[in-house]
Amino acid sequence: MIKKVCCIGAGYVGGPTMSVFADKCNDISFNVVDVNPDRIAAWNNKDLSKLPIFEPGLDEIVKRCRGKNLHFSTEVHKYISEADIIFISVNTPTKTRGIGAGQASDLKWVESCARQISEHAKGHTIVVEKSTLPVRTGEVIKDILECSQSSLNSKNEKTFDILSNPEFLAEGTAINDLENPDRVLIGGSNENAIKVLHDLYKRWVNEEKIIHTNLWSSELAKLTANAFLAQRLSSINSISALCEVTGADVREVSRAIGKDSRIGSKFLNVGPGFGGSCFKKDILNLVYLANHFGLPEVANFWESVIDLNIWNQDRLTHIILEKLFGTLTEKRIGILGFSFKANTNDTRESPAIQICKNLLNEGASLKIHDPKVSTKQVALDLGIPSIEECSKNKELNKLYIDKKWEKSHLENDFFDNLDAVIVLTEWEIYSDINWEKASKKMRSPGWVFDTRLIVNEEKVINSGLSFWRVGVGTVKRD
Ligand code: UDX
Ligand code: ADP
């Protein structure tokens, strides 16, 4: 009987996943632990609007379960020692140095977890890889755990089973993805351990959707799923550039190809390029793996998906520059959206970061709006303090004199004296902007650049502003 579950890592994956588990399995205690005390304090904040991550529907579940069978704590060792199942849900960023730098994942956090588990676990424990990991990480975890097994005498015997159970949730729809998954993947070799995890999921997931594979297939399937999704986006984004110059409309092309049941209609929305913590990292892992096993053609194929994504972000900067008479010096540009997609406060790999940096380098000053991303986060991502911070410090002011940005509310004065507005994230509110009012505040000729195809075309055109849309090009007045 499973009584206690521990999840190491209270991030975008661990937090929502354990919340849904707790909601579905009231008789089991779920303890989410993290080394970061600020993160845990935020998860325990009475004010549910202050949870460390924004995810629609998450606050209601936390309200229902927290303090009952869902706990957030920094007491990593204690909860490891009590657990029947431990999920590893820590970060695995791309290595920045050494062999595989820029491609392979840095496994130091996973290794540190395995070491802590090996030291503090008691009795029999099922260890589940939840983080996206390079293929054969299970082996590393197994090796570390087996060391502790063999170093003990029979009285203190601890035993482990290792499973891979990759998470396929997407941010912004995490709760629905967890409650109604397309599939649950459990990789491993021990049938008893697989059955334990299978039985937890089957409380709310139709058993036909629970797939069993070997450990390595499960790890590779996760990387492959993300690589295929990202490849689809680079494909449609490449076609969007062709649409803009030929007079085709990418929305019509997407609709036409999406009707082919072999292609399907999902994941064909063009944009400034894909972001998020997984796509780039997972493809880089595939590239590293392919090169490692002497398959450079495979590596080059997948690397081109990332190259196209980088090119797409830079080409948007070129288009904006060209439309604004070839110079952005002393031009004021409004940025609508900074998160990598709508309905999340996550900015990891957000295309807005590179595009804003490009615009600042060209001399533009930026007014940035995002409903959920904090000013502090924008400053961290851009690596440049805001105008407000600079104004308090002469040195900073001098250093960043030609790289000015501020975070702003989306009120009427947002548009004051702007030369252009660029929509970078598809937040719902941006589809309902009063462009009539906005255009009166902007400098003429004012431009709107819509990289997400969500702006109301008629309203922009009627306001007299010039309008450019990704995959369509400059929209002509009738
Ligand atoms: C992704 C996978 O979808 C998920 O299964 C995996 O577990 C983690 O990685 P996530 O990164 O949260 O999830 O978001 P996703 O919805 O996949 O979007 C990724 C990026 O692609 C975003 O920048 C998004 O704006 C972009 N995107 C997505 C498009 O540009 N067009 C689309 O049609 C879909
Ligand atoms: P993800 O998107 O994969 O959930 P995050 O970066 O949002 O990634 O979250 C990972 C969390 O794991 C972070 O809050 C980090 O502090 C935590 N973490 C990393 N290593 C350890 C460890 N050894 N023990 C406990 N928590 C850890």
Ligand nearest to the CA of 91: 2
Report, as an integer, the average pLDDT of 319-332.
96
The residue ranking higher by pLDDT, 213 or 106, is: 213
Does residue 280 lie in a domain region? no
Note if 65 is an active site residue.
Answer: no
The sheet with strand 365-369 has its strands ordered as 405-407, 365-369, 332-336, 420-423, 447-450, 466-469, 473-474
Note if 278 is an active site residue.
Answer: yes
Report, as an integer, the average pLDDT of 284-298.
95
Kindly state if the Cβ of 244 falls inside 6 Å of ligand 1. no
Q: Same structural domain for residues 148 and 10? A: yes
pLDDT for 270 beyond 60: yes
pLDDT for 83 beyond 70: yes
Q: Same structural domain for residues 202 and 320? A: no
Ligand 2 pocket, Cβ-based, cut-off 6 angstroms: 8-14, 33-36, 39, 76, 89-91, 109, 112-113, 131, 277
Q: Same structural domain for residues 183 and 313? A: no
> CA torsion sign, 274 to 275 to 277 to 281?
positive
Tell me, in angstroms, the distance from the centre of ligand 2 to residue 362's CA. 36
**Complete DSSP assignment for 208-227:** GGEEEE-HHHHHHHHHHHHH
pLDDT for 148 beyond 80: no
Does residue 112 lie in a domain region? yes
Compute CA 410 distance to the chain's CA centroid, rounded to the nearest angstrom. Answer: 24
Does residue 250 lie in a domain region? no
What pLDDT sits at residue 399?
86
Note if 222 is an active site residue.
Answer: yes
HEC secondary structure over 121-158: CCCEEEEEECCCCCCCHHHHHHHHHHHHHHCCCHHHCC
Distance between CA atoms of residues 143 and 148, nearest Å: 9
Q: Same structural domain for residues 193 and 337? A: no
Tokens of 4: 């206690």
Does residue 252 lie in a domain region? no
Residue 159 forms beta bridges with which residues?
A: 124
CATH number at residue 459: 3.40.50.720
Among 213, 234, 265, which residue terminates a domain? Answer: 213
20: three-class secondary structure by DSSP: helix
Does residue 357 lie in a domain region? yes
Does residue 209 lie in a domain region? yes
Q: Same structural domain for residues 201 and 321? A: no
- Rounded to a whole number, what is the distance in angstroms from the first to the last CA of the chain? 70
Q: Same structural domain for residues 9 and 141? A: yes
Q: Same structural domain for residues 10 and 136? A: yes
Mean of the per-residue pLDDT values of the chain:
94
Does residue 72 lie in a domain region? yes
Q: What is the pLDDT of residues 377-429, one digit of tens each?
A: 999 999 999 999 888 888 888 888 888 999 999 987 999 999 999 999 999 99
Query: Closest ligand 1 atom to the C-alpha of 351?
Result: 23
* Counted domains in the chain: 2
pLDDT for 191 beyond 60: yes
Nearest CA to ligand 2 atom 7: 11
Among 213, 239, 265, which residue terminates a domain? Answer: 213
Does residue 64 lie in a domain region? yes
Tell me, in angstroms, the distance from the centre of ligand 1 to residue 82's CA. 36
Q: Same structural domain for residues 335 and 208? A: no
Nearest CA to ligand 2 atom 3: 91
Range of the domain at 315: 308-475
466: three-class secondary structure by DSSP: strand
Do the Cβ atoms of 89 and 7 come closer than 8 Å?
A: yes
Residue 150: Cβ-neighbour burial (10 angstroms; 0-12, 13-18, 19+):
exposed
Tell me, in angstroms, the distance from the centre of ligand 2 to residue 138's CA. 18
Q: In this predicted structure, which of 128-137, 290-299, 445-454 has the lowest mean pLDDT?
A: 128-137
pLDDT for 153 beyond 60: no
Q: Same structural domain for residues 319 and 188? A: no
pLDDT for 159 beyond 90: yes
- Could you say which of 278, 280, 367, 426 is catalytic? 278
Best of 90, 119, 141 for a ligand 2 pocket test (most atoms within 8 Å of beta carbon)? 90
pLDDT for 143 beyond 90: no
